[in-house]
Every structure is written in structure tokens, then in C-alpha cells.
């Protein structure tokens, strides 16, 4: 395949974040050329039909979406559907702009088909992202907007900040995700505790006059009781779950990664993410977006069988390349 033979070796010679920027830059360029998206769409293969589904009141052309973190500021919304995605999730977007952690902050673990990242919510901020979404071509597939929290915001202020970011972006997304599960913002994951979580979801729902679906994204590292309690809270105050974010565990990668702070994604997360989908499905009827280690049609099918309504991927794209989504769709349709 062209990606494996040419693009991947070149990209993998670059620092991981730099490679991401090159790919994003190329896609932005293509997106600006008339017919660019159509050309990319043709290059990545045939599109499948017959995989449409309705979830939380939104019509999805297919169940394979892009996970949060690939397009944090929504720059690639017009072009990403050309890769075959049935939906996109941009972000995390924070209320105020912030630079994220110092670089390097994104690492490949090729032998495990994994990534370790401690980006720390680099974000242009809600206002700039809303402006971009209003001014550029809208997405041809449903658009999710994932909301994060600025570094250093205390728990008591979190509900107001999530609600403000939501209000600024509300008109531009088909669904929203409250992300309290990134391992790279100190204290953030503590907000998965019922009291804080309920306050955040209540504040966002209070701002939600348009009744957009609000999803909760959970960490894979929660204790069983905390996972169940968070899902119970979501059952009262949210319209869906995203299971799951990256893990702080280093199972499945070399010892040396224990010393590198950040969240682990990709193949090592596979089994854990599926198990959590299954557990969440046993606890709730809420729609579930299953994410973590999806690289093949079989992986996607396994998530759907475990109880996911939709599936997302990010790391698989780095190792599988631009034809991956369509390969998965063809496998699902077969």
C-alpha cells in the first residue's frame, strides 16, 4: 500500500507531533483547493452505503467516527469526511485559549502500535473555534464538539466554564462531549466523582436550550464503583457515553514508557476499552460511543457487539493510514 511504502516511513522519521502537523497542513491545503476533498475521497477508495444509523436523534451515514484530539481546533472539518468517517469529533476545546504542555508531548510506540501523549489541551479556545466553524464550509457528516477545561481552573469553577464553552459553541455541533477524563490536566479526572460531575452536567444542560445531545467521556482507569456511579449520573443528566479516553496504565508497552507521563492509546487499549463498553452496556441504556484501539473491521464489530452504538478511532489512523476508515467500512458492509 502507498501509505506503508512511502508516506509512513517519511512521517515516522519526523517527531510525532511534527508529522501530525505536516499531515494536517497537507489536508488543510487540499481542503482549500476546489475539488480537493473529492480527489482525496476518490484516492482513498469507494464509499459504502447501507451502514446508516440513528443515534441520540442524529442520523449517521456510518458508525465509524474520528476520535477527539486529531483536529483540536476544527481546522479540517471540511476535508476529514473524505476519509470515509461517518462523524467527526473535534476538540478538546477549552473556554480560553491555552498552549498545552511543553514539547515533546506526543510519542509513537511503533512496536505496540500505540501512542503516548501529554498534549495537555492545546486549544485556540472556544471563541476562535466557533468563529472558524461559522466561517468555513460545514461538515458533511455529523459534528461532535468535545469540551475540555483550562489548566488551573478549580473544581468549583468547572461547571461555569464548561457551560460557557458550550454556549459559545452550541450552534455549531450536532452533539457535545464533556471530557473530564484526560490524564494530562492535573485534577481533571477527579471531576468524574458524582458531585462534581453532576454539577458540570447540570450547568451544561441548563445552557442547552436547543437540546443538543450531551455525552460524557470516561477514563479507562476508574475504579469499578466510580465507573458505575459516573454512568448512573450520566443516566440522569446526559444523552450518551464515550468509552474511553487514553489510559495511564503502561500494560502492553515496553518498561521504558513508565517514565514518560501521558495517556496511552492504540492497540494496548483494545481489550480494556471493549471490556468497559460491555460493562457500561450492562449498566445503562444510554447510547455508547466505543473508542480505544480500533484498527480493523473486526475491532469495530467487536465494539458494536459489546454494546457500542458508534465507534471512533485516532491512533489506528497513524499506523493504518488514510485508507483505513474505508477498509473498515468495507469490512463492516461485507
Ligand X SMILES: Cc1cc2nc3c(=O)[nH]c(=O)nc-3n(C[C@H](O)[C@H](O)[C@H](O)COP(=O)(O)O)c2cc1C
Q: Which is nearer to ligand X, 72 or 212 (CB)?
A: 72
Query: For the chain, what is the radius of gyration of the CA atoms?
Result: 18
Which 200-239 residues touch ligand X, going by CB under 6 A? 217
Residue of the chain from 291, 306, 328, 332 that contacts ligand X (CB under 6 A):
291
State which H helix or E strand residue 10 sits in: helix 8-13
Answer for the pair 187, 175: CB distance below 8 angstroms, yes or no.
no
| Helix/strand/coil for 172 | helix
294 near ligand X, judged by CB under 6 A: yes
Size of the site for ligand X (CB under 6 A): 29
Of 112, 123, 182, 265, which is the active-site residue?
A: 182
**Is position 178 an interface residue for ligand X (rule: CB under 6 A)?**
no
Task: Identify the CA nearest to 176 among candidates 65, 257, 93.
Answer: 93
- Of 67 and 79, the one with the shorter C-beta distance to ligand X is 67
Q: Residues 76, 119, 165, 286: which binds ligand X (CB under 6 A)? A: 119
Does the annotation count 182 as an active-site position? yes
3-state secondary structure of 334: coil
Cβ atoms of 230 and 201 closer than 8 Å = no
If one asks whether residue 147 binds ligand X (CB under 6 A), the answer comes out as no
Beta bridge partners of 312: 65, 291
Contact 154, 192 (CB under 8 A): no
3-state secondary structure (DSSP) of residue 210: coil
Position among 48, 62, 101, 245 found at the interface with ligand X (CB under 6 A): 245
Given candidates 31, 62, 92, 94, which one binds ligand X under the rule CB under 6 A? 92
Residues that bind ligand X (CB under 6 A): 67-69, 72, 91-92, 106, 115, 117, 119, 121, 146, 148, 179, 182, 217, 245-246, 265-266, 269, 291-294, 313-316
Catalytic machinery residues: 182
Amino acid at each position: 500500500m502507498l501509505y506503508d511504502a512511502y508516506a509512513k516511513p517519511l512521517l515516522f522519521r519526523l517527531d510525532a507531533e511534527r508529522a501530525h502537523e505536516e499531515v494536517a497542513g497537507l489536508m488543510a491545503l487540499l481542503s482549500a483547493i476546489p475539488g480537493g476533498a473529492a480527489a482525496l475521497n476518490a484516492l482513498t477508495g469507494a464509499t459504502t452505503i447501507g451502514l446508516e444509523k440513528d443515534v441520540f436523534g442524529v442520523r449517521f451515514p456510518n458508525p465509524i467516527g474520528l476520535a477527539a484530539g486529531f483536529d483540536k481546533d476544527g481546522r479540517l472539518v471540511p476535508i476529514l469526511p473524505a476519509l470515509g468517517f461517518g462523524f467527526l469529533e473535534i476538540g478538546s476545546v477549552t473556554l480560553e485559549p491555552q498552549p498545552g504542555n511543553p514539547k515533546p508531548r506526543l510519542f509513537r510506540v511503533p512496536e505496540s502500535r500505540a501512542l503516548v501523549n501529554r498534549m495537555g489541551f492545546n486549544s485556540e479556545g472556544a471563541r476562535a473555534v466557533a468563529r472558524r466553524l461559522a466561517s468555513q464550509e460545514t461538515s458533511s457528516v455529523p459534528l461532535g464538539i468535545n469540551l475540555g477545561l483550562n489548566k488551573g481552573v478549580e473544581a468549583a469553577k468547572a461547571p461555569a466554564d464548561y457551560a460557557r464553552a458550550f454556549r459559545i459553541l452550541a450552534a455549531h455541533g450536532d452533539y457535545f462531549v464533556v471530557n473530564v477524563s484526560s490524564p494530562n490536566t492535573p485534577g481533571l479526572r477527579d471531576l468524574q466523582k458524582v458531585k462534581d460531575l453532576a454539577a458540570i452536567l447540570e450547568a451544561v444542560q441548563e445552557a442547552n436550550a436547543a437540546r443538543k445531545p450531551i455525552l460524557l467521556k470516561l477514563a479507562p482507569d476508574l475504579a469499578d464503583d466510580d465507573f458505575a456511579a459516573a454512568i448512573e449520573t450520566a443516566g440522569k443528566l446526559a444523552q450518551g457515553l464515550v468509552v474511553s479516553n487514553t489510559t495511564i496504565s503502561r500494560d502492553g508497552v515496553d518498561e521504558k514508557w513508565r517514565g514518560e507521563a501521558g495517556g496511552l492509546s492504540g492497540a494496548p487499549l483494545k481489550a480494556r476499552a471493549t471490556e468497559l463498553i460491555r460493562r457500561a452496556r450492562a449498566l445503562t441504556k444510554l447510547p455508547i460511543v466505543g473508542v480505544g484501539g480500533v484498527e480493523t473491521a473486526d475491532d469495530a464489530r467487536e465494539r458494536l457487539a459489546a454494546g457500542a452504538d458508534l465507534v471512533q478511532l485516532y491512533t489506528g489512523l497513524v499506523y493504518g493510514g488514510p485508507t483505513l476508515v474505508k477498509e473498515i467500512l468495507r469490512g463492516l458492509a461485507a
